[in-house]
């Protein structure tokens, strides 16, 4: 790889981070997607490729953010080439949305002893995609609208309850705070009835479950400075926020659109952390993706029963 090809990769981190910090400074969480998606085949979803496969990690944030900013209601995106291959036509004047592809290249170097060794160097590539709301003449099934009935209030989301019960996490209900307690390795949740709806309960439980996954005997995220270092606490809360958003999309549920009261104060902290480290949002998204994948990969329990009371 030539120097000219390597140079832009730092700008990618800076450009994306600057965009997200700008949103946070306005009080907007750019990872909260437009949940009422007309083309979501009746359920909430991550952004989807033209073949129906979901995006992951940082690209989820980029595409959700673009959908919010530009008013797109479809979760499906495709490249210009894919559009043409399907017989579609991007409308004149429409602009694409940048997404990233992480890759590596091998560079041969010489160590202190004069021996050659290969070192893998990570880098980002970018390309642009278009939401299908920007495209005409696509096959009918890409554009079919689906009516979404309003959910019944305070009716539990059974498949979400089943999912969280399957994790094997000890979940206790009581009090008025939600948190993960590392010392006892349990998740504490307010009673279900205290939430404004079942989706909000599930979103909060998802957030705390992402914390739970970070324990030393699971994914072993370093939480040793969580209680003492505001910056480290903000990073961990950001991971849990993103993980909750990803997981809610995977479960097809719509969480509350307003941030939890105890997380409003993190908006400024997140902006500060991301402003000081242009790779922080990429790292947080990667940790969140890893945590969600861990939860999905847990083997099903024979009889998960009810959530702990």
pLDDT at position 39 is 37
b/e per residue 187-199 (b: at least 16 CB within 10 A): bbbeeeeebebbb
Q: What does DSSP assign to residue 99?
A: E
Segments of the chain with pLDDT less than 70: 1-11, 27-44, 144-154, 255-267, 302-309
Locate the domains of the chain by residue range.
1-149, 155-309
Half-sphere exposure of 164 (CA within 13 A, CB side): 29
Q: Which residue has the tokens 């699971």?
A: 218
Give dist(CA 68, CA 100) in Å, integer: 19
Residue matched to tokens 């940790």: 287
pLDDT at 30: 62
pLDDT tens digits, residue range 45-96? 789 999 989 998 889 888 888 887 777 878 899 999 999 999 999 999 899 9
- Residue 84 to residue 106: CA distance in whole angstroms: 34
Tokens of 171: 């979940």
CB atoms under 10 Å from CB of 117, counted, come to 10
**Amino acid 3: pLDDT:** 44
| CA–CA dist 194, 186 (Å, integer) | 20
């Amino acid at each position: 790889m030539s120097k000219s090809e390597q140079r832009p990769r730092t700008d990618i981190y800076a450009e994306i981070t600057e965009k997200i910090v700008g949103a946070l400074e306005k009080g907007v969480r750019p990872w909260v997607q437009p949940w009422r998606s007309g083309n979501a085949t009746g359920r909430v979803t991550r952004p989807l490729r033209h073949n129906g496969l979901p995006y992951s990690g940082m690209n989820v944030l980029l595409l959700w953010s673009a959908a919010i900013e530009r008013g797109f209601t479809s979760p499906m995106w495709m490249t210009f080439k894919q559009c043409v291959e399907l017989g579609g036509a991007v409308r004149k004047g429409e602009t694409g949305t940048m997404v990233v592809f992480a890759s590596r290249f091998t560079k041969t170097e010489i160590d202190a002893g004069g021996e050659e060794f290969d070192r893998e160097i990570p880098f980002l590539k970018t390309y642009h995609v278009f939401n299908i709301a920007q495209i005409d003449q696509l096959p009918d099934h890409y554009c079919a609208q689906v009516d979404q009935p309003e959910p019944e209030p305070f009716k539990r989301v059974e498949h979400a309850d089943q999912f969280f019960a399957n994790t094997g996490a000890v979940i206790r209900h009581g009090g008025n705070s939600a948190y993960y307690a590392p010392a006892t390795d349990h998740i504490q949740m307010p009673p279900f009835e205290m939430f404004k709806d079942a989706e909000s309960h599930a979103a909060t439980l998802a957030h705390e479950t992402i914390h739970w996954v970070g324990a030393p005997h699971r994914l072993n995220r370093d939480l040793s400075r969580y209680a003492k270092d505001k910056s480290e606490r903000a990073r961990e809360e950001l991971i849990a926020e993103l993980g909750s958003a990803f997981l809610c999309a995977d479960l097809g549920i719509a969480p509350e659109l307003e941030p939890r009261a105890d997380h409003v104060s993190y908006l400024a902290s997140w902006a500060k952390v991301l402003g000081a480290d242009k790779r922080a949002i990429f790292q947080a998204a990667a940790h969140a993706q890893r945590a969600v994948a861990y939860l999905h990969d847990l083997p099903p329990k024979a009889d998960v029963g009810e959530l702990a009371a």
